[in-house]
Structure 1
Amino acid sequence: MVALWATNSSQLYSNWHSVNNRQNAATRVAVPVVAIFYNLQAERQLSAAALADPDSDRTKLASQRLITDASIKGLKGPPDSAPTDIVTHYRQVSRELTRLPGYREAVDRGTITQLQMNKAYSTAIASDLQMFKDFIDVGIAELNVLGQSALDALWGQESLAREDAIFTAAVVSGHFSSSQRAQIAELIGAQQHIYNNEVIPLLPREHAQAYRAIVSGTAWKQKTEAEQTVLSGRGTGDSGQEVSAQVASQWRQSVGEITRQLQQANKSYFGQIIRTTDHELHGLMVILIVNSSVGALAVLLVVLISLWFTGLLRRRIFALRSSALELQTRLPDVIERLRRGEVIDPDTELPSIPYGRDELGMLGRALNLARSTSLETAVQQVEQHRGFERLLQRIARRTQLLIGMQMNRLIEMERQHEDPEVLEGLFDLDHLTARLRRYEENLVILGGGQPQRRWRKPVLMLDVIRSAQSEVQDYRRIRIEASGQIWLSERAVGSMVHVLAELMENAVTFSKP
């Protein structure tokens, strides 16, 4: 998004900057360029008259040269930011204008022909118009179309000015040569083509109407009549067709009026182009600002949405992590409580992890599945453990019954016999039976039960210790030293006897002989 925004803004700024540079260059140079265009045309017309009559008064020509020089001095170079083509054509115009003093000197000395003089001035004017073309070529289609029509209108006026220079030379000399008449015919065709095909059809309606009014007006008709008179070949003279005073007057009046009208129409149209260019520049600036602002807002929005989604995902991930850690912490406690025989509700103790339908939801479902599997496995293990305990207890209880019956039987036999050897054997069997009873009680305890021996009254601690001693295999190694009358509560006698017997067994087993 940042790359797209930067590229778009850069392109829009480049477009605006290009048009703005050309507009600034045109504002700086266009007015002097147009002034030079009109002044060179006027100087060319007066130079043609001077060449036609070397002895004529040249006050007007000298005055016009001063005006032309002043307009040339007003021509300043384009700004540093101006496009390359404008700078190139400015240098070309400058080179052509530096040749102007040479042309003037040739005119004053009469060492240049009418054709050469017209070509020299026309070349300078053409380079001037080329620079004008650079100003209107700003890269915007609408402005290019409007500018090309404006340039064509200037070329139409230049064609009329060239014809005027030829007429002026002929009027001053008093006759038209055949080459002059051919040039006039060519220029008439150029004017008709320019205005009828390249200017009027392509201009906006209100400006096209102004040019249409000029080419169909009275002055243009008078000009056409004067041209037809010259081209029809009426007149006499050895050196060519003579020029009547009526034709000369008719030409001067009509051309002066047409030139004034064309200048007004061009000025009006150029004003329209300037306004259109300013409007396009403003539009480009608005587009640049709007697009850049919208792009920046889009980038900011994407960043905010990304941060929001990231935060949302982080919260969900942390919630899943917390639920997994809680499951890891609480599951052993639940399993332990199940082993102790407590009745619990798994859904309450280990609630399901909430999840959605996306990838994190899949992870949540996997954790829930792991939770269910863990609970099922724990329950199965607890059930198996309980079953094993019950089995041990049943086996131990049955064995304890047999051991109890055996001990009772041994006690009866001990009472019935007085033979020392027999009694010693019976005492050994009794001792083995007591040890066997302790081992069976171990099975009962491992199975989760309690020893079955019960006492109804408190017992002396000495008797408790002696009872424990009797259940140890190497009981003769154990010496008992007790003082005082210490009694043990009846409910603790069985367990205490068992514990002391186990400790004594460990002592005699893991001690030196």
Structure 2
Amino acid sequence: MASGRSIRFKISTLLVIPLVSLIALWGFAASTTSGEALNLLKVETIWSGVIVQTDNLVSDLQAERLASAERLAGTVQDPDILTKARAKVDTGRKTLRERALSEDTQSALTPDMRTQLQTLIGTIDQLPDIRRKVDERRLTPGGLVTEYAKISDEVHLLYSRLTVSTDLELALQAQGLIAADEVRELLNRENALLVASNGRASMHDVHLLAGIDGSRTYLFPKALANLDTELRAPFEKLYYSPRYVTMENLLESYVAGQPVDVQLWRGIADQVEKEFTQGVRNTGEKLRARMEPAGMGVLVRAVVAGALGLIAVVFSVFISVRVGRRITRELATLRRTALDLAEIRLPDVVAKLRKGENVDIGAEAPPIKVGHNATSEVSDLASAFDSVQSTAVDAAVEQARLREGVSEALRNLARRSQSLLQRQLRLLDEMQRQTEEPEALERLFKLDHLTTRMRRHAEGLVLLSGGAAGRRWRGVIPMEDVLSGAAAQVEEYTRVRVYPMPECGVSGAAVADLMHLFAELIENATTFSSPGNEVSVRGEMVGRGFAVEVEDRGLGMDEPTRRAINDRLASPPEFDPAQTERLGFAVVGMLASRHGIKVTLKPSPYGGTTAIVLVPGSLVEPMVTPVQPLEFESVSVSVIRQEPPTGTDELPRRVRTSKRNTGTHALPQQDPEPPRRERQPGLPQRERQANLPPRLKQAPPPAPPAEERSPEETRALLSSLQSGWQRGRQDSDQDGGSRS
């Protein structure tokens, strides 16, 4: 299975990311709107704690500045006026410090507001120095106005930072009110400057007065423009009043260099300033009264918008989760069904078809169901899987039929070949019985051996095509005879040596398969080793059965190849006719799997390969009657290889080397007329000249010495004799199964 993320995770990610973004936006909008509304609700605290106190302080400072201007001009009529004005300023300063620095007011202020408030308090703390300069008369009229203006300028900077509404209308009204208060401050500065100069201002003071008057003339209409009709009504009334017009004319005359009556000026300017101050305070109260309902309205809108947004978010989450779960459930169902189809149902169908069982396609591979209300794409995908499933099952059925047909054809051909080879072996057997000429017997033996090998190859084809070996044995066959019979089916049998081994046998039902298995391994060993090297076959009893080692001394094989073959032998795959390499190992693996035999290849100490075959204990049986070996006194033969051509298959008997003559291959010397010996049980012996006429019993004339036979010819002759003896004896004491 793939190691990627699940579909549930991916769908959840697709849903969670926009939902989180939506919730974040909703939270930001709700917090912003709520914060804005809460700021408007803080107006009362800021108004009472800061604005009212600073406004009173500015008014008191303006009064103190006028009184100080009279002192500098020397026109003081009441000495207590300045003292009372200073005392009132000190009281307002103390109140401002207490109220503005309280915990409630500080919590309502922003960091920028608190910083500006600290700056204002620090500027107010410089009042004692200003008063000392006034008392010592070290200030000019322009210096007096400038020193007191520092405090009022900081107050107006604080006002600009106290605007807490983001409502454009309210913000404009607040800016207009601040500008109107600045006009009041400029008007007071002009009044103080003209009073301090007592109508005899210096050129510097005249320039300062002209600048202040220009700023006031510019700022007043701008302040009125920011105020609505209701709020600017008192200022417009004052602006167009005769007093204000007269004041403007007096200022213009004074700036132009004409003398001015100070008493007349004070009477007009004080009245205008008083009306202006009252208008600023009334406008401020009206504006404050507007801010609280606006704040409540903003708060209500924020609550409603937040609630609606929350409902929308919850609804979106609900719909997204529901839809996501539905799609995930449909895809999970489709995934489980597809995996069940790919990993369980189709393999089971294919396995049953390979075994030749009948398969109900509708029951084994039903249509994929994803629900009636499934997503159209998922339904289309399920339909596509159904189509793939039907096509795959049909292909598997057709392939199984094709494989069965091919296997059946191969089995029929192999059976026919077996039948023909069996008939050929019978004919060869009869010819061997009727022929006594050594050269003819040798050729017949080679032909018999070649036919036996052909029969083994045909039998291998039957096994690979799913059939069973046709040969059968009864009783218990010695393991050494099974191995000798296997070696007899190999082309280069003369190089194979079967060493003596413990007396144990194999059930007759498994003899044919075991003999074929060992024959394939022995032939592989002889094929891939040098013609001069021996192939050793050894066997012994072990804890879990009987172990046989087939060892050659060839070049061996590399580790990857040996590992691949061992894996194939341990878990043999189904035979593929397209793979024609190493058919012998395919047969070995099939036979080993059939009987629970374990076959392992490992390197040989001689450089070749050793095949270790572990026959399980369930196939190994003890020998009831020990088999007496037939010994030849003068001939050393390791393996006698010849299979019976008749319907009853028998194994070659073991031939052991005589202790008296183990190093020669020569035939024993025979007398010209050997004495008649008593007939012994076993191999029939022919008596010389027993049935000849009397005149033919005479000794023949001397003949030239016969040419000595080669060891191979001697071995072939003795093998033929041995084969005839075995067939005769087996025909008399053992029956075999039929061959198909």
After TM superposition, the score normalised by the length of structure 1 is 0.62
Q: Is the 8 A contact 1:157 1:259 kept in 2?
A: yes
Letter in structure 1 aligned against 2:224: I
Structure 2 CA distance for partners of 1:299 and 1:142, relative to 1, 3 Å: farther
Letter in structure 1 aligned against 2:241: G
The 5 Å alignment of 1:84-233 reads 84-136=111-163, 144-169=171-196, 173=198, 175-177=199-201, 179=203, 181-196=206-221, 198-228=222-252, 230-231=254-255
Q: Which runs of 5+ in 2 are unaligned?
A: 1-16, 371-375, 421-466, 469-646, 651-730
Q: Is the 8 A contact 2:33 2:299 kept in 1?
A: yes
* Separation in structure 2 between the aligned mates of residue 214 and residue 331 of structure 1, nearest angstrom: 106
* Separation in structure 2 between the aligned mates of residue 142 and residue 49 of structure 1, nearest angstrom: 42
* Separation in structure 1 between the aligned mates of residue 162 and residue 733 of structure 2, nearest angstrom: 114
The reply on whether 1:377 has 2:399 as its aligned counterpart is yes
The reply on whether 1:26 has 2:50 as its aligned counterpart is no
The reply on whether 1:69 has 2:90 as its aligned counterpart is yes
Structure 2 CA distance for partners of 1:130 and 1:289, relative to 1, 3 Å: farther
Q: Report the equivalent of 2:502.
A: none
Q: Is the 8 A contact 2:56 2:92 kept in 1?
A: yes
1:157 CA displacement? 1.6
1:124 CA displacement? 0.7
Structure 2 CA distance for partners of 1:348 and 1:55, relative to 1, 3 Å: closer
* Separation in structure 1 between the aligned mates of residue 234 and residue 389 of structure 2, nearest angstrom: 86
1:126 CA displacement? 0.4
Letter in structure 2 aligned against 1:8: L
Which of 62, 66, 84 is the equivalent residue of 1:45? 66
Structure 2 CA distance for partners of 1:351 and 1:290, relative to 1, 3 Å: closer
Structure number with the higher helix fraction is 1
Q: Report the equivalent of 1:8.
A: 25
Partner secondary structure for residue 112 of structure 1 = coil
Q: Is the 8 A contact 2:66 2:192 kept in 1?
A: yes
Structure 2 CA distance for partners of 1:178 and 1:51, relative to 1, 3 Å: closer
Which range moves more in the overlay, 176-185 or 31-40?
A: 176-185
Number of aligned residue pairs: give it: 401
Deviation per CA, 1:353-412: give whole Å up to 9, x if none. 45864595455543332222112323445666788999999x9xxx9xxxxxxxxxxxxx
Q: Is the 8 A contact 1:106 1:112 kept in 2?
A: yes
Q: Is the 8 A contact 2:238 2:272 kept in 1?
A: no
1:205 CA displacement? 4.3
* Separation in structure 2 between the aligned mates of residue 58 and residue 106 of structure 1, nearest angstrom: 17
* Separation in structure 2 between the aligned mates of residue 385 and residue 50 of structure 1, nearest angstrom: 133
* Separation in structure 1 between the aligned mates of residue 393 and residue 300 of structure 2, nearest angstrom: 67
* Separation in structure 2 between the aligned mates of residue 71 and residue 288 of structure 1, nearest angstrom: 43
After TM superposition, the score normalised by the length of structure 2 is 0.45
The 5 Å alignment of 1:194-343 reads 194-196=219-221, 198-228=222-252, 230-231=254-255, 241-243=259-261, 245-272=263-290, 276=294, 279-280=297-298, 283=301, 291=309, 294-295=312-313, 298-299=316-317, 301-324=319-342, 325-329=344-348, 332=351, 339=356
Structure 2 CA distance for partners of 1:385 and 1:39, relative to 1, 3 Å: same
1:243 CA displacement? 1.2
* Separation in structure 2 between the aligned mates of residue 34 and residue 285 of structure 1, nearest angstrom: 35
The reply on whether 1:57 has 2:78 as its aligned counterpart is yes
Q: Which runs of 5+ in 1 are unaligned?
A: 235-240, 400-445, 448-470, 475-503
* Separation in structure 1 between the aligned mates of residue 413 and residue 735 of structure 2, nearest angstrom: 32
1:93 CA displacement? 0.7
Structure 2 CA distance for partners of 1:57 and 1:254, relative to 1, 3 Å: same
1:231 CA displacement? 5.0
1:98 CA displacement? 0.7
Question: How big is the alpha-carbon RMSD for the aligned residues of Structure 1 and Structure 2?
Answer: 4.7
1:30 CA displacement? 2.8
1:307 CA displacement? 2.9
Structure number with the higher strand fraction is 2
* Separation in structure 2 between the aligned mates of residue 144 and residue 151 of structure 1, nearest angstrom: 11
1:272 CA displacement? 3.7
Which range moves more in the overlay, 81-90 or 17-26?
A: 17-26
1:146 CA displacement? 4.1
Report % sequence identity: 16
Deviation per CA, 1:268-305: give whole Å up to 9, x if none. 34544565566556656665665566446545543443
Which range moves more in the overlay, 224-233 or 127-136?
A: 224-233
Letter in structure 2 aligned against 1:193: Y
Partner secondary structure for residue 77 of structure 2 = coil
Which range moves more in the overlay, 187-196 or 268-277?
A: 268-277
Partner secondary structure for residue 201 of structure 1 = helix
Q: Is the 8 A contact 2:190 2:212 kept in 1?
A: yes
Deviation per CA, 1:333-372: give whole Å up to 9, x if none. 5776xx57x7x87456644445864595455543332222
Letter in structure 2 aligned against 1:124: I
Q: Is the 8 A contact 1:152 1:194 kept in 2?
A: yes
